[in-house]
């Protein structure tokens, strides 16, 4: 199946009060694990690359071809969206040029007027190519590719203004953060989410989905969240499974060739797949 831009997927999710998962990839194993989870559950999926991951992997064009070719080689039959996560202005333009299906322009760290104008330009460029666009209002706590947010709540008025640019989905700060949540985290601000959801019909995005309790994610989806981003939980699952393999001495088993990277990476890859499948169930994503 060819990659898609996701517009219908997320419109349907908003109307149906469910969400579709967006999972970051870091390499071939990550890509195969995410796609395998989607295929096994027969659900649409969004694979995204951050600017840092794309640089690590060899560039946006390589990332795009990796996903396209893996979809083909694995015989994936469910809809897959290739998305830029937290891209700055230059990265968003490059991914539009390269041929991603969807891009996020994250201008939350700019003065709002500049964020608005650059969002308008990215929307114009992307829509001309049949690509979808995600923008951000407020900020997501933590640090992503050198952009640090304190987790400020999104302004309802700014959300309305950004939505009016024609963006296809909108990330809003509602107390969520990137990375591991601290013990003193106060939880999601559902009042602000309700206000934003009532003000705009654009599908809303919950970043920092790793570590938020299931009941809060389910409630956020019921209030209008249509896309949930997950990255850290897959990294933690991969690290844990790989550590257990090594600590058990399996990599030292010469007869079984436990040092073979295909065997060394297999437990972590399986752990990513199971994590993705679990989150798909949380999100209530229906089979296609």
- Read off the CATH number of the domain in which 166 is found: 3.20.20.70
Residue 162 included in any domain: yes
Residue 43 included in any domain: yes
136 carries a ligand binding annotation: yes
Q: How many structural domains are present in the chain?
A: 1
Tell how strand 102-105 and strand 20-24 pair up: unpaired
231 carries a ligand binding annotation: yes
- Answer yes or no: are the C-beta atoms of 13 and 81 closer than 8 Å: no
149 carries a ligand binding annotation: no
173 carries a ligand binding annotation: no
Tell how strand 142-144 and strand 147-149 pair up: antiparallel
DSSP state of 250: G
Half-sphere exposure of 213 (CA within 13 A, CB side): 9
| pLDDT at 139 (0 to 100) | 65
Burial of 72 (0-12, 13-18, 19+ CB in 10 A): exposed
What are the two backbone dihedrals, phi and then psi, of residue 131, each rounded to the nearest 5 degrees?
Answer: -100, 155
Residue 32 included in any domain: yes
pLDDT for 10-46, tens place per residue?
Answer: 999 999 999 999 999 999 999 999 999 999 999 999 9
Residue 242 included in any domain: yes
Rounded Cα–Cα distance for residues 33 and 223 (Å):
30
Residue 288 included in any domain: no
Other Cβ atoms less than 10 A from the Cβ of 128: the count is 9
In sequence order, what are the residues at sequence separation of 6 or more whose Cβ sits closer than 8 angstroms to the Cβ of residue 11?
203
pLDDT for 209-254, tens place per residue?
Answer: 788 889 999 999 999 999 999 999 999 999 999 999 999 999 999 9
138 carries a ligand binding annotation: no
- Answer yes or no: are the C-beta atoms of 189 and 174 closer than 8 Å: yes
| pLDDT at 209 (0 to 100) | 75
108 carries a ligand binding annotation: no
Q: Could you tell me which of 52, 279, 26, 19 has the C-alpha nearest to residue 147?
A: 52
Q: Would you please indicate which residues are annotated as catalytic (active-site) residues?
A: 85
Residue 172 included in any domain: yes
178 carries a ligand binding annotation: yes
| pLDDT at 182 (0 to 100) | 80
What is the residue range of 79's domain? 6-283
Tell how strand 204-206 and strand 225-230 pair up: parallel
HEC readout, the chain: CCCCCCHHHHHHHHHHCCCEEEEECCCHHHHHHHHHHHHHHCCCEEEEEEHHHHHHHCCHHHHHHHHHHHHHHHCCCCCEEEEEEEECHHHHHHHHHHCCCEEEECCCCCCHHHHHHHHHHHHHHHHHCCCEEEEEECCCEEEECCEEECCCCCCHHHHHHHHCCCCCEEEECCCCECCCCCCCCCCCCHHHHHHHHHHCCCCEEECCCCCCCHHHHHHHHHCCEEEEEECHHHHHHHHHHHHHHHHCCHHHCCCCCCCCHHHHCHHHHHHHHHHHHHHHHHHCCCCC
145 carries a ligand binding annotation: no
| pLDDT at 148 (0 to 100) | 44
| pLDDT at 178 (0 to 100) | 73
Rounded Cα–Cα distance for residues 253 and 251 (Å):
6
pTM here?
Answer: 0.92
Mean pLDDT (10-residue bins), the chain, 288 residues:
90 96 97 98 97 97 98 98 97 98 94 96 98 87 51 88 97 84 85 96 90 92 96 96 97 96 97 98 97
Residue 1 included in any domain: no
């Amino acid at each position: 199946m060819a990659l898609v831009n996701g517009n219908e997927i997320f419109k349907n999710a908003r109307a149906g009060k469910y969400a579709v998962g967006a999972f970051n990839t870091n390499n071939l194993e990550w890509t195969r694990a995410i796609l395998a989870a989607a295929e096994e559950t027969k659900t649409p999926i969004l694979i995204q690359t951050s600017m840092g991951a794309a640089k690590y992997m060899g560039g946006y064009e390589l990332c795009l071809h990796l996903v396209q070719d893996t979809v083909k080689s694995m015989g994936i039959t469910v809809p897959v969206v290739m998305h830029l996560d937290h891209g700055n202005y230059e990265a968003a333009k490059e991914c539009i040029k390269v041929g991603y299906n969807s891009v996020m322009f994250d201008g939350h760290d700019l003065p709002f007027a500049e964020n608005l104008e650059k969002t308008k330009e990215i929307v114009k460029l992307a829509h001309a190519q049949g690509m979808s666009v995600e923008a951000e209002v407020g900020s997501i706590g933590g640090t992503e590719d050198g952009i640090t947010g304190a987790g400020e709540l999104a302004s309802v008025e700014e959300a309305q203004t950004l939505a009016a640019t024609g963006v296809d989905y909108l990330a809003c700060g509602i107390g969520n953060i990137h990375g591991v949540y601290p013990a003193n985290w106060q939880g999601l601000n559902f009042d602000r989410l309700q206000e934003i959801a009532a003000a705009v019909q654009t599908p809303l995005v919950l970043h920092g989905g790793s570590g938020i309790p299931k009941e809060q994610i389910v409630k956020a989806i019921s209030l209008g969240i249509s896309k949930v981003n997950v990255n850290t939980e897959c990294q933690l699952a991969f690290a844990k499974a790989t550590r257990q393999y090594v600590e058990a001495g399996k990599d030292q088993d010469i007869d079984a060739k436990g040092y073979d990277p295909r065997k060394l990476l297999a437990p972590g890859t399986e752990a990513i797949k199971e994590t993705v499948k679990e989150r798909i169930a949380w999100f209530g994503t229906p089979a296609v």
